[in-house]
Amino acid sequence: MAPDFSSNAFKHLRTGFLPPDPEEHTGELKGSLLHRPRRLRRLPALREMVRETRLSVRQLVYPLFVCPDEKVRAEIPSMPGIFQLSIDEAVRECREVVELGIPAVILFGIPERKDEAGSEGYAEDGIIARALRVLKAEFPDLLLWADVCLCEYTSHGHCGVIRGGEVANDETVRLLAHEALVYAESGADIVAPSDMMDGRVGAIRRLLDETGHTHIPIASYAVKYASAFYGPFRDAAGSTPQFGDRRGYQMDPANTDEALREAALDLQEGADILLVKPALGFLDVLHRVKQAFHVPTAAYNVSGEYAMIHAAARAGWLDHDAVMLEALLSIRRAGADMIITYHARDAARLLRDSTA
Ligand code: PBG
């Protein structure tokens, strides 16, 4: 309960810090200050003991872009330190991820071929299905999150099939459910639909349950905005829409009540984890979602947010490590239990020996 600052017990708070009467101004504080918040900030160990929010490597999910062929490690120009990786290289990357103590990765695919229906997304020998089988066998304890969407696999770059110039919702939902099933059968521990079609969480839950995958959780990108901060990701995945934009299915960045409605619907349909995306420009939304539902909540610290910090650091304008940790901590403070972030490896190295 909030303290009653109008009560007598807090009288000194109301009067103690008032500026002295200008006529009597001597440059001195009058009387004794009962409350000095700086007392708890003076010693590092004490600051740590009163710290309200903690950032741990065990809360981070590291995104991987998996591509065909072998021995491919192609850096994404707008995302320094992030690569398109062939499956063998993804294995090497995951070895490091595990050594750093990062508990989870989320996989995105760059297919051999794109087509109108995004069929490599749900083909049993598609890039992600193959990557999941290899990674699960190598790293049984690493949590494999599979992003479920069609935009990386469609020739037009939209998140579903196009009918009459628009993404057809219900037909797309059937394909997405199938994609989630293929990923679950290939070794995904969690499926994460990011398409923003209506009713997809329910359809995925039903199909997974009917096929014996009742134990696979759904991390739903319940609140995903039509954001310009996805630019570098679309370069990495080659998923920029070839016509129009995603505003007909992703949310308007102006809305937050709508975020609560989206989140409520996904929970009703069986979502286990709610995701808010992007993170930094939407901390208010994250906070509202966490406060409203009190369910495990994740935030996606997206490609554009990563690129901005790197660009400013390269120009010598910001301290990379400090700004990165502050950004991640802010996302935690706003309400995220988990953070999907390209910073995961760098953050893990810094967090290993410290208690941020
Ligand atoms: C796929 C998807 C996108 C991102 C995650 N999943 C791209 C999009 O919606 O255009 C963006 C992630 C990022 O920018 O880091 N639908």
**pLDDT, tens digit, 9 for 90 and up, residues 232-258:** 999 888 889 999 999 999 999 999 999
Q: Whose CA is nearest to atom 10 of ligand 1?
A: 230
Convert the pLDDT of each residue in 173-212 to its tens digit: 999 999 999 999 999 999 999 999 999 999 999 999 999 9
Q: Does pLDDT of 98 surpass 60?
A: yes
- Over residues 70-95, the mean pLDDT reads 98
Cβ of 135 closer than 6 Å to ligand 1, yes or no, is no
Cβ of 303 closer than 6 Å to ligand 1, yes or no, is yes
Q: Does pLDDT of 309 surpass 90?
A: yes
Residue in this structure with the two tokens 């294995």, named with its chain if needed: 91
Cβ of 275 closer than 6 Å to ligand 1, yes or no, is no
Residue count of the chain: 356
Task: Name the active-site residue from 30, 114, 136, 277.
Answer: 277
What is the CA 100 to chain-centroid distance, rounded? 19
What is the CA 124 to chain-centroid distance, rounded? 27
With 0.75 as the threshold, say if the pTM is over it: yes
Residue 84, SS3?
A: strand
pLDDT at 18: 55
Q: How confident is the model at residue 356 (pLDDT cuts 50, 70, 90)?
A: very low
pLDDT at 11: 60
Q: Which of 194, 195, 250, 277 has the most ligand 1 atoms within 8 A of CB, as the residue to mutate?
A: 194
**Annotation marks residue 224 as catalytic:** yes
Convert the pLDDT of each residue in 149-163 to its tens digit: 999 999 999 999 999
- Structural domains in the chain, sorted by start: 56-243+252-354 (3.20.20.70)
Q: How confident is the model at residue 10 (pLDDT cuts 50, 70, 90)?
A: low
- Over residues 107-136, the mean pLDDT reads 97
- C-alpha 297/C-alpha 275 separation (Å) is 6
Percentage of the chain with pLDDT > 90? 88
Q: Which of 239, 251, 309, 342 has the most ligand 1 atoms within 8 A of CB, as the residue to mutate?
A: 239
Q: How confident is the model at residue 27 (pLDDT cuts 50, 70, 90)?
A: confident
- C-alpha 253/C-alpha 263 separation (Å) is 15
Q: What are phi and psi of 202, to 5 degrees?
A: -60, -40
Torsion over CA: 252, 258, 264, 265 (sign): negative
Cβ of 151 closer than 6 Å to ligand 1, yes or no, is yes
Q: Does pLDDT of 61 surpass 90?
A: yes
**Annotation marks residue 30 as catalytic:** no
Q: What is the CA radius of gyration of the chain?
A: 23
- Over residues 251-274, the mean pLDDT reads 98
Strands 104-109 and 60-67: what pairing? Answer: parallel
